[in-house]
């Protein structure tokens, strides 16, 4: 199994990670896929008139249910869609990916993670708007959305009929592999490392943890999006508050050095002292791990938002602004402060260095919490288990929708069984290999997705302008159900 994964990993890495070299800066290189994500994020942010800044207040009103109308279509509420998408993003990535980014890219990687979150808000807005616009209501009562739909249907309206169809198939294939890799086995491998440290039984019998998690996840995903949405709606707010409370405790004990930590982050973002590739090395790590955490630009979140009960596609796109904001700008930044303030990212001890070498980011974060309060790793173990669980139930849905797009609704149970089987397999796969494998599969989704977003960005800009006209005229307030 390890040899197969390493072979696939090498194949995708050769395609995605070839470097753009900047001749004026010796040794500086930026992976093409990172440059592609940055270019897409910057372009769309300017084209949409910084929607990620000016519409946050209105977005919150939508989340709170103010603009519900009798013409809404869908099967779950806008908040349930947001919670489902957040359950896929607020997870191990916030705990493990941040530690990995800082240990490999230095403190400056945190700055680039924040920038990735800011640009990612517009990417999410664009892809979710398109997903709802081009969603398809299937005969079995389910809804198909996401990159598969807007790449095939949306690009067809622009004259790219065959191109859109091929890109949709490629996207769906990458989505299935990403769901099994980053949305499943990476979550298991990272959480297993923490659970083994707290419960020696799982160190002797790691597959027992896989069986336990498979049973819990299976009990939810068999019920489809409605059950997934109800579970996500219940646990995501609790998870976020629970984890942030822990972080605030740690930061509270080091409150006097927080300004110094922010100064270090900013300084190292542009002039890192110990990172291969200098500024571009820190940038690459920051953007890669941020995207791994918030999924902006990958087209995955559109699958969770497609079933939302809304009248206007733009309305759900505005709701999605809060995903990268909560996931990256708030939660990832707070985790980064804990990692930097406690100094675990530098190694320091053989145990910490072993975590860094094995890319066991969750264990590194656990050590950071444990350096402040000895019993925090035990509580963090519970949080990590819940984070992994929530991410897996949402990504199982993403992968299942991609599977249905390729093979039809009647075969969806096959994917669910494969997904559950890989939970157990993940307890017997090398962790470091899985981190690289998962990251590359995730990033591969951006290749077809951002191309589609840029081509269809004019449509989204028009939808937004029409929506804003109705909002300013008071039409949206008049049609809302009180």
Which of 152, 177, 74, 140 is CA-nearest to residue 409?
140
Provide the 3-class DSSP secondary structure of residue 31.
Answer: strand
A 10 A CB-CB count for 158 gives: 14
Residue 251 · residue 337 · CB < 8 Å: yes
Which is more confident, 270 or 413? 413
Instruction: Give the model's confidence band at 277: pLDDT under 50 very low, under 70 low, under 90 confident, else very high.
Output: low
Whether pLDDT at 2 is above 60 = no
Which of 453, 474, 478 is CA-nearest to residue 43?
453
Q: Please give the distance of CA 179 from its chain centroid, rounded to a whole number.
A: 11
Whether pLDDT at 347 is above 70 = yes
Tokens describing residue 107: 């403190």
Which is more confident, 290 or 61? 61
The backbone torsions φ and ψ at residue 232, rounded to the nearest 5 degrees and listed phi first, read -60, -40
What's the rounded Cα separation, in Å, for the pair 40 and 118? 12
Whether pLDDT at 40 is above 60 = yes
What's the rounded Cα separation, in Å, for the pair 452 and 168? 10
Whether pLDDT at 22 is above 50 = no
Residue 284 · residue 105 · CB < 8 Å: yes
Q: What is the pLDDT of residue 42?
A: 94
- What are the angstrom distances between the C-alpha of 14 and each of 7, 10, 217? 11, 6, 34
Whether pLDDT at 320 is above 80 = yes
The backbone torsions φ and ψ at residue 415, rounded to the nearest 5 degrees and listed phi first, read -65, -45
Q: Where are the domains of the chain?
A: 55-479
Q: Please give the distance of CA 28 from its chain centroid, rounded to a whole number.
A: 27
What's the rounded Cα separation, in Å, for the pair 364 and 355? 6
Instruction: Give the model's confidence band at 465: pLDDT under 50 very low, under 70 low, under 90 confident, else very high.
Output: very high
Whether pLDDT at 313 is above 90 = yes
Q: Please give the distance of CA 131 from its chain centroid, rounded to a whole number.
A: 17
- What are the angstrom distances between the C-alpha of 403 and each of 66, 156, 168, 344? 35, 21, 12, 41
Residue 72 · residue 309 · CB < 8 Å: yes
Residue 185 · residue 425 · CB < 8 Å: yes
Instruction: Give the model's confidence band at 21: pLDDT under 50 very low, under 70 low, under 90 confident, else very high.
Output: very low
What's the rounded Cα separation, in Å, for the pair 264 and 364? 20
Tokens describing residue 216: 């819990």
29-31 and 143-144 strand pairing: unpaired
In this prediction the pTM is 0.86
pLDDT tens digit sequence for 54-77: 999 999 988 888 888 888 888 888
Q: Crossing angle for the helix pair 32-47 and 446-455, nearest 10 degrees?
A: 20
Contacts of 437 (CB under 8 A, 6+ apart): 5, 8, 9, 181
Which of 447, 451, 465 is CA-nearest to residue 47?
465
Whether pLDDT at 96 is above 50 = yes
A 10 A CB-CB count for 153 gives: 18
Which of 335, 379, 288, 417 is CA-nearest to residue 92?
335
Alpha-helix residue ranges (DSSP H) falling in 184-223: 186-198, 200-204, 206-221
Q: What is the pLDDT of residue 462?
A: 96
Which of 115, 85, 108, 109 is CA-nearest to residue 97?
109
Tokens describing residue 174: 């990458």
Task: Give 430-466 as a DSSP string.
Answer: -HHHHHHHHHHHHHHTHHHHHHHHHHTHHHHHHHHHH
Instruction: Give the model's confidence band at 480: pLDDT under 50 very low, under 70 low, under 90 confident, else very high.
Output: confident
Give the torsion sign (CA, 329, 331, 332, 337). positive
> What number is the average pLDDT over the span 125-148?
90
> What number is the average pLDDT over the span 107-128?
91
What's the rounded Cα separation, in Å, for the pair 67 and 469? 15
Whether pLDDT at 23 is above 70 = no
CATH number of 55-479: 1.20.1740.10
E strands, 103-195, are 136-137, 143-144
Residue 71 · residue 475 · CB < 8 Å: no
Please name the helix (run of DSSP H) or strand (run of DSSP E) that holds residue 29, with its range, or none. strand 29-31
Q: What is the pLDDT of residue 281?
A: 67
Instruction: Give the model's confidence band at 25: pLDDT under 50 very low, under 70 low, under 90 confident, else very high.
Output: very low
The backbone torsions φ and ψ at residue 310, rounded to the nearest 5 degrees and listed phi first, read -145, 160
């Amino acid at each position: 199994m390890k040899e197969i994964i390493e072979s696939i990993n090498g194949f995708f890495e050769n395609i995605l990670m070839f470097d753009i070299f900047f001749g004026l800066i010796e040794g500086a290189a930026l992976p093409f896929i990172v440059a592609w994500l940055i270019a897409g994020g910057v372009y769309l942010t300017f084209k949409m008139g910084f929607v990620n800044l000016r519409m946050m207040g209105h977005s919150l009103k939508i989340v709170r249910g103010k603009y519900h109308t009798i013409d809404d279509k869908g099967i779950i509420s806008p908040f349930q869609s947001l919670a489902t998408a957040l359950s896929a993003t607020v997870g191990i990535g916030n705990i493990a990916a941040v530690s990995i980014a800082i240990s490999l890219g230095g403190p400056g990687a945190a700055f680039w993670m924040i920038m990735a979150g800011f640009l990612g808000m517009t990417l999410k807005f664009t892809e979710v708007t398109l997903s709802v616009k081009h969603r398809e209501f299937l005969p079995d009562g389910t809804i198909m959305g996401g990159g598969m739909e807007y790449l095939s249907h949306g690009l067809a309206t622009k004259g790219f009929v065959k191109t859109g169809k091929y890109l949709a198939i490629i996207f769906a294939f990458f989505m299935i592999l990403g769901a099994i890799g980053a949305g499943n086995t990476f979550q298991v491998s990272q959480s297993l490392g923490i659970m083994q440290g707290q419960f020696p039984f799982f160190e002797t019998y790691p597959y027992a943890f896989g069986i336990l998690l498979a049973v819990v996840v299976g009990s939810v995903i068999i019920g489809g999006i409605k059950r997934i949405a109800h579970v996500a709606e219940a646990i995501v707010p609790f998870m976020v508050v629970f984890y942030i409370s822990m972080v605030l405790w740690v930061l509270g004990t080091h409150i006097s050095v927080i300004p110094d930590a922010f100064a270090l982050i900013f300084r190292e973002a542009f002039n890192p002292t110990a990172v291969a590739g200098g500024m571009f090395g820190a940038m690459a790590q920051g953007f890669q791990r941020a995207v791994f955490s918030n999924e902006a630009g990958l087209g995955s979140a559109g699958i969770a938002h497609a079933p939302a009960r809304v009248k206007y596609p733009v309305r759900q796109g505005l709701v999605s602004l809060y995903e990268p904001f909560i996931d990256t700008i708030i939660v990832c930044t707070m985790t980064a402060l804990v990692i930097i303030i406690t100094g675990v990212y530098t190694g320091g001890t053989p145990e910490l260095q072993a975590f860094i070498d094995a890319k066991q980011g969750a264990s590194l974060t656990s050590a950071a919490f444990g350096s402040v309060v000895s019993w925090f790793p035990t509580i963090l173990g519970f949080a990590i288990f819940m984070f992994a669980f929530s991410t897996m139930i949402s990504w199982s849905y993403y992968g299942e929708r991609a599977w249905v797009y390729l093979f039809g609704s009647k075969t969806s149970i096959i994917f669910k069984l494969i997904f559950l089987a890989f939970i157990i397999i993940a307890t017997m796969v090398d962790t470091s290999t899985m981190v690289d494998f998962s990251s590359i599969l995730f990033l591969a989704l951006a290749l077809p997705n951002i191309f589609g977003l840029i081509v269809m960005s004019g449509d989204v800009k028009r939808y937004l302008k029409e929506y804003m006209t109705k909002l300013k005229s008071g039409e949206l307030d008049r049609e809302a159900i009180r």
